[in-house]
């Protein structure tokens, strides 16, 4: 009967005081799983890191000669750098959504639902795991700052990292909000294929939004990626004023304050996460 | 043990209609003696054109602490739905259920903390090692880091997987994986362990291993095991069982009692002189028992058939009739199922006779 006695001593030992701790442990468990997977799948991680680096080196290198510095305010590789950081954090963030669906298909999600914690805690854990893995990968790619002609200034790198954490949180939440309502991984992949290309090109990561026709600019005004890229770009301009690039997001011809952009990103992420939690809480 | 069967057979109709409001009828065991109790449990789903389909229809179950309880029924009978309600994954439409002393409706998380659930198609993360899978699961259940490490090591030892703890799960064999999945459910030391078709898809060797493992668990920890199965011989080895068909409970009790309730064992004797043997056996048996002779030999039906064989043999030897072979075949659980539902569990076969032949293992003396 050792199992039963162990159980009862544990449950009588202050059920209320350990409630929050239990939920936190569950969040930690999910983050731990994401980090273990990141460390275990080295090839996959390396490929995910290689992809944005290739954009910076090949696309950036090739177009640098063609695009005059005057139109952007900076060299093309420097211009591309915030967009590349955005791509780096976006891939692992979206993977979280894909994994929610594959976990559902494989039955792993059901095992998670058996855990004696709230469903919102499980979603929060997935979100935290996605944000953290994305930020880790973003931090690695910050090492390429020199290629873009940026100084290795600790404050700049720290601010950029904070911006990337914020951006990955928002993208992870959006991916989760999408994933909770979809049952099949194929649908999610197809949807991403359709949606990601316009989101990326309307983010101002590859070319200035001012070059776009008016209707496309209107779309980019509601594109969360555009705010993320703009945030990163303005952080660079803040610390390295001679690297100030052409303006991104503008509301009626004026740039919104930096903190407002950050707050909008955070709010978008929180709303998406709340909605995802609401959907996820419905019994199956 | 048998006492609930009688009580419940009388009670359910009254309880079903008034299930949500009325408390369970008083029983002769205290509430704490039960691992699982349900009264009038119903789960219905919206069907086509406004109809409702009742997957589980007024279930009354009593499972005592520490027993191994089989939940037997054909596919689609409502076994998995019942289990989902009992471990608070699905909400009952009506009725009530208490698991490990906790109400599944009002305290679902407390129930989940006290039970383990092995799904029919269980899933472990194939890219992580056995140890990593267990550690993450332990943390999900709120164990501290130190406890998680300690319990992980303990259950790996119990599952006999310690030397494979650093292998990625995808490299483990089917049987090892199943043992790992069971081990994972033991991390938080649940009082009640649900196993939904635990051996489906395993080869006979792995099946035997899993059952051996489950028996050890029970002996060592006294856990209550609630096992759904459609394998008759697995249900046979449990302390008690419930038979479910189309969402309704058709019988509940110890396997021997259920079988005894529907009939006696078939005893067949092959002798040197069947006609003489018939006379001798008639004298030995109570007068109301029929003894027939056909091509198979002398046949008779008695309760406790195998215990009669030595007596019959001794009597026949004394009368100078040589006995070549003797066998006693108890009624099978399939017979019990057939008795209550008019159908066989081994669906497509017409052969209840075939099932008889397959289980004619209680051989007698020669």
Per-10-residue mean pLDDT for chain B, 366 residues long? Answer: 39 37 49 86 85 88 91 86 90 91 90 89 88 94 92 90 92 88 89 88 82 83 86 86 90 86 80 84 80 82 80 85 84 80 61 39 36
Chain A residues with CB-CB distance to B117 below 8 A: 114
Pairing of strands B34-46, B52-64: antiparallel
The pLDDT tens digits for A192-246 are: 888 888 888 888 888 888 888 888 888 888 899 999 999 998 898 888 877 776 6
The pLDDT tens digits for A79-123 are: 889 999 998 888 888 889 999 999 998 889 989 999 999 999 999
> Is position A8 within any domain?
no
In whole angstroms, give the CA distance from residue A85 to residue A60.
13
Q: What mean pLDDT do residues A59-78 have? A: 79
Q: CA of A185, closest CA in chain B: separation in Å?
A: 17
Q: CA of A178, closest CA in chain B: separation in Å?
A: 23
Question: What is chain A's alpha carbon radius of gyration, rounded to the nearest angstrom?
Answer: 21
**Topology, domain B264-358:** Alpha-Beta Plaits (3.30.70)
Mutate to test the interface with B, among A42, A114, A125 (most CBs of B within 10 A): A114
In Å, the largest CA–CA distance within chain B is 76
Q: CA of B236, closest CA in chain A: separation in Å?
A: 25
- Smallest Cβ distance to B128: which of A7, A40, A284? A40
The pLDDT tens digits for B220-272 are: 778 899 999 878 888 888 899 999 988 899 889 998 888 878 777 778 888 88
Q: How do the domains of chain B map onto residue ranges?
A: 3-258, 264-358
pLDDT score for A2: 37
> Is position A116 within any domain?
yes
pLDDT score for B11: 37
The CATH code of the domain at B3-258 is: 3.40.50.300
Q: Tell me which H or E stretch contains B70.
A: strand B68-72
Asked if A36 and B144 come within 8 Å (Cβ–Cβ), the reply is: no
Q: What mean pLDDT do residues A64-83 have? A: 80
The pLDDT tens digits for A1-55 are: 333 333 433 443 445 547 888 899 999 999 999 999 988 888 888 888 888 888 8
> Residue B36: CB partners within 8 Å, gap ≥ 6?
B61, B62, B63, B69, B86, B97, B98, B99, B100, B192, B224, B226
Asked if A2 and B220 come within 8 Å (Cβ–Cβ), the reply is: yes
Asked if A108 and B144 come within 8 Å (Cβ–Cβ), the reply is: no
Is ipTM > 0.85 here? no
Asked if A108 and B113 come within 8 Å (Cβ–Cβ), the reply is: no
CA–CA distance from B124 to each of A11, A35, A97, B176 (Å)?
A: 27, 16, 19, 12
In whole angstroms, give the CA distance from residue B233 to residue B230.
9
For A162, the domain range is: 16-280
pLDDT score for B24: 43
**Is the separation of the CB atoms in B245 and B337 below 8 Å?**
yes
In whole angstroms, give the CA distance from residue A41 to residue B44.
44
Pairing of strands B192-196, B115-118: parallel
Q: What are B131's strand-pairing partners?
A: none
Q: Which residue has the tokens 């994305």?
A: A134
Q: Locate the chain A residue with the closest alpha carbon to B89.
A: A114
B93 touches chain A (CB under 8 A): no
* Structural domains of chain A, count: 1
Phi, psi of B356 (to 5 degrees): -60, -50
């Amino acid at each position: 009967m050792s199992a039963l006695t162990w159980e009862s001593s544990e449950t009588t030992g202050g059920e209320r005081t350990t409630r929050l701790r239990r939920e936190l442990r569950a969040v930690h468990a999910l983050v731990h799983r994401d980090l273990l997977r990141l460390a275990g799948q080295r090839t996959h991680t390396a490929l995910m890191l290689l992809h944005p680096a290739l954009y910076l080196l090949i696309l950036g290198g090739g177009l640098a000669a063609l695009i005059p510095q005057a139109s952007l305010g900076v060299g093309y590789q420097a211009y591309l750098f915030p967009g590349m950081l955005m791509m780096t954090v976006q891939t692992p963030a979206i993977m979280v959504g894909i994994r929610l669906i594959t976990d559902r298909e494989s039955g792993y999600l059901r095992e998670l639902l058996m855990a004696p914690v709230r469903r919102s805690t499980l979603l929060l854990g997935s979100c935290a795991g996605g944000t953290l893995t994305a930020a880790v990968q973003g931090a690695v790619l910050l090492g390429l700052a020199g290629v873009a002609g940026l100084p290795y200034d600790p404050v700049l790198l720290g601010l950029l990292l904070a911006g990337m954490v914020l951006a990955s949180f928002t993208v992870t939440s959006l991916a989760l909000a999408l994933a909770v309502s979809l049952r099949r991984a194929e649908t999610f992949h197809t949807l991403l294929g359709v949606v990601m290309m316009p989101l990326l090109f309307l983010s101002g990561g590859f070319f200035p939004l001012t070059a776009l026709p008016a209707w496309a600019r209107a779309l980019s005004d509601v594109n969360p990626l555009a705010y993320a890229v703009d945030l990163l770009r303005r952080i660079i301009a803040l610390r390295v004023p001679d690297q100030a690039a052409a303006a991104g997001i503008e509301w009626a011809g004026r740039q919104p304050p930096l903190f407002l952009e950050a707050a909008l990103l955070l709010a978008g992420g929180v709303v998406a996460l709340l909605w995802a939690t609401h959907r996820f809480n419905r019994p199956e | 043990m048998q006492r609930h069967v009688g009580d419940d057979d009388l009670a359910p109709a009254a309880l079903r209609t008034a299930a949500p409001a009325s408390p369970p009828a008083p029983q002769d065991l205290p509430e704490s003696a039960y691992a699982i109790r349900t009264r009038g449990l119903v789960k219905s789903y919206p069907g086509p054109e406004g109809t409702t389909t009742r997957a589980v229809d007024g279930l009354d179950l009593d499972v005592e602490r520490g027993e191994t309880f089989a939940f037997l029924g054909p596919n689609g009978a409502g076994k998995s739905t019942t289990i989902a309600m009992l471990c608070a994954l699905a909400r009952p439409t009506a009725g009530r259920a208490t698991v490990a002393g906790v109400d599944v409706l009002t305290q679902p998380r407390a129930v989940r903390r006290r039970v383990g659930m092995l799904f029919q198609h269980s899933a472990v993360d194939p890219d992580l090692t056995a140890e990593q899978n267990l550690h993450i699961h332990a943390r999900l259940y709120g164990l501290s880091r130190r406890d998680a490490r300690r319990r992980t090591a303990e259950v790996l030892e119990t599952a006999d997987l310690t030397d494979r703890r650093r292998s990625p799960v995808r490299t483990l064999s089917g049987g090892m994986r199943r043992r790992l999945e069971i081990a994972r459910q033991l991390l938080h030391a649940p009082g009640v362990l649900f196993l939904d078709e635990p051996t489906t898809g395993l080869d006979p060797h792995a099946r035997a291993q899993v059952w051996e493992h489950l028996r050890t668990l029970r002996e060592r920890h006294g856990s209550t095991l609630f096992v759904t199965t459609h394998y008759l011989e697995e249900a046979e080895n449990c302390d008690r069982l419930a038979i479910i068909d189309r969402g309704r409970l058709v019988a509940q009790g110890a396997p021997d009692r259920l079988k005894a309730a529907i009939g006696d064992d078939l005893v067949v004797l092959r002798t040197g002189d069947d006609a003489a043997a018939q006379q001798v056996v008639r004298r030995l048996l109570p007068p109301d028992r029929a003894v027939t002779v056909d091509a198979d030999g002398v046949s008779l039906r008695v309760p406790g058939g195998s215990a009669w064989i030595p007596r019959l043999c001794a009597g026949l030897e004394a009368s100078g009739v040589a006995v070549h072979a003797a066998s006693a075949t108890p009624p099978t659980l399939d017979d019990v199922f057939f008795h209550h539902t008019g159908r066989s569990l081994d669906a497509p076969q017409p052969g209840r006779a075939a099932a008889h032949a397959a289980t004619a293992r209680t051989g007698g003396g020669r």
